[in-house]
Homo-oligomer: A and B are copies of this chain.
Amino acid sequence: KAPEGRSSGVLERLNAGEVVIGDGGFVFALEKRGYVKAGPWTPEVTVTHPEAVRQLHREFLRAGANVMQAYTFYASDDKLENRSQTLKITVTQINEAACDLAKQVAGEGDALAAAGVCQTPSYLSCKSETDVKAVFKRQLDVFVKKNVDFLIAEYFEHVEEAVWAVEVLKTSGKPVAASMCIGPEGDLHGVPAGECAVRLVKAGAQIVGVNCHFDPMTCVKAVKLMKEGVEKSGLKAHYMVQPLAYHVPDSTYLGYTELPEFPFALEPRIVTRWDVHKYTREAYKAGIRFIGGCCGFEPYHIRAVAEELAAERGIMPAGSEKHGMWGAGLEMHTKPWVRARCRREYWENLLPASGRPKCASLSTPESWGVTKGHADLLQHKEATTTQEMKHALEMQKKAKSSG
């Protein structure tokens, strides 16, 4: 065990019953800051503007995150080849820079550096297990070389591919966390959430859970099902949850991508810090100990995770010097009616208005009902053709009218 608990690994912490606070979402935060392009979503910013990535890591660290996850999302050969063909930067450069940044900031506080792989275009295009695993292996080589603290297989819609990822990551000997972007309904092939978890644990993942695609409470529900499944099978694991910071009760099995607001009009759905308090408590009560966020989670959301668990953890994050618990800082506000809001009861019970009287509260998801292997999902290097767009618009119109 490391001195000062600092370099204590992720499994040591979880085994000791500690809470490990994850970080928030890089893709969406950096899109809003101007460094990531929505659509391809690739992370070349780690090479082109490292200061922007470093700053975001620092903000999450300051907010209380114990994990600096290298920003390697979609940094795989097949993805970059497809999406950014004109890009002069190699996959290896991106992954190396990402690991360097995560390790640097992790070293500035009580955090571990992690790196991860996620679902691949190769799988969706029905490539072989060997091909898909090769994609993961090339990323893993960098992670091992950079010696991150642990590995994460995340954002998988199909447990089959997630298991392959875990099998590859396990070859490194490092701890492996596996997180799927599924809800309580299970994976896209219809495998129930509990069964997904069992397969991941059997494949060697020490931590299992879900991330992205659904809102906080829905994700907690899915992880609960995973935990039940694992426990029923007589297996053991730790549990993680890293949900969206968006309210998406209207999304179905494919999550927020199905909602008409994705990805450029999700603002009204952003969760408040008080929503995060409720989510954190719910996750903690469910026995989940790796608690963080995904798309939409900003530093102040992660700080709310840390603040909700301040008593249990016996520690407040650095960033709380700039935040009174439950709005206590408002005691110093100029307007007396705002000062009157410096109370937990006030914020805990507030139902926030949207300021949009011509908007509904729920949307109709565009459920096309396609998954791995469907022609509409096959990857090609060119941008959408006119023909494809025409087809897509027809599908969209049909999906809308059936809503």
Q: Interface on A for B, CB 8 Å cutoff?
A: 31-41, 51-52, 55, 58-59, 62-63, 83, 121, 124, 215, 246-250, 254, 257-274, 298-300, 303, 318-319, 321-324, 327-342, 347, 350-364, 366, 368, 370, 376-377, 379, 383-384, 388-389, 391-393, 395-396, 399, 403
* B339 engages A389 (CB within 8 Å): yes
List of B residues within 8 angstroms of A33 by Cβ: 59, 298-300
Given A34-B303, A269-B268, A350 contacting B261 (CB threshold 8 A): yes
* B265 engages A268 (CB within 8 Å): no
Which interface residue of A37, A63, A327 has the most chain B CB atoms within 10 A?
A37
Can you add 13 more A-B contacts, CB < 8 Å, to A268-B353, A352-B359? A34-B62, A38-B324, A215-B355, A247-B355, A250-B353, A250-B357, A257-B337, A265-B347, A267-B352, A269-B352, A337-B399, A354-B359, A356-B361
Name the contact of A358 in the complex, choosing from B34, B58, B363 (C-beta under 8 A).
Answer: B363
Question: In the complex, what distance in Å separates the CA atom of A269 from the CA atom of B354?
Answer: 5
* A274 engages B265 (CB within 8 Å): yes
Which interface residue of A267, A328, A391 has the most chain B CB atoms within 10 A?
A267
Given A35-B322, A272-B267, A354 contacting B361 (CB threshold 8 A): yes
Question: In the complex, what distance in Å separates the CA atom of A259 from the CA atom of B338?
Answer: 9
Question: In the complex, what distance in Å separates the CA atom of A324 from the CA atom of B36?
Answer: 11
* B298 engages A334 (CB within 8 Å): no
The residue of chain B having its C-beta at the shortest distance from the C-beta of A390 within the complex is: B340
Given A33-B299, A250-B353, A298-B32, A338 contacting B262 (CB threshold 8 A): yes
Measured between C-beta atoms, what is the minimum distance from A295 to chain B in Å?
14
Name the contact of A34 in the complex, choosing from B319, B324, B368 (C-beta under 8 A).
Answer: B319
Can you show 8 pairs from A to B with CB atoms below 8 A apart? Answer: A34-B303, A34-B322, A34-B323, A40-B329, A261-B350, A332-B383, A337-B392, A353-B360
* B339 engages A392 (CB within 8 Å): yes
List of B residues within 8 angstroms of A40 by Cβ: 329, 332-333
The residue of chain B having its C-beta at the shortest distance from the C-beta of A124 within the complex is: B334
The residue of chain B having its C-beta at the shortest distance from the C-beta of A394 within the complex is: B340
Given A322-B31, A354-B359, A336 contacting B368 (CB threshold 8 A): yes
List of B residues within 8 angstroms of A358 by Cβ: 351, 353, 360-364, 403
Which interface residue of A121, A258, A262 has the most chain B CB atoms within 10 A?
A262
* A39 engages B360 (CB within 8 Å): no
Measured between C-beta atoms, what is the minimum distance from A368 to chain B in Å?
5
The residue of chain B having its C-beta at the shortest distance from the C-beta of A270 within the complex is: B267
Which interface residue of A39, A62, A384, A403 has the most chain B CB atoms within 10 A?
A39
Measured between C-beta atoms, what is the minimum distance from A181 to chain B in Å?
12
* B51 engages A55 (CB within 8 Å): yes
Name the contact of A274 in the complex, choosing from B264, B328, B329 (C-beta under 8 A).
Answer: B264
Given A31-B322, A353-B362, A358-B364, A392 contacting B124 (CB threshold 8 A): no
List of B residues within 8 angstroms of A364 by Cβ: 358
List of B residues within 8 angstroms of A360 by Cβ: 351, 353, 356-361
List of B residues within 8 angstroms of A334 by Cβ: 121, 124, 377, 379
* B327 engages A264 (CB within 8 Å): yes
Question: In the complex, what distance in Å separates the CA atom of A303 from the CA atom of B34?
Answer: 8
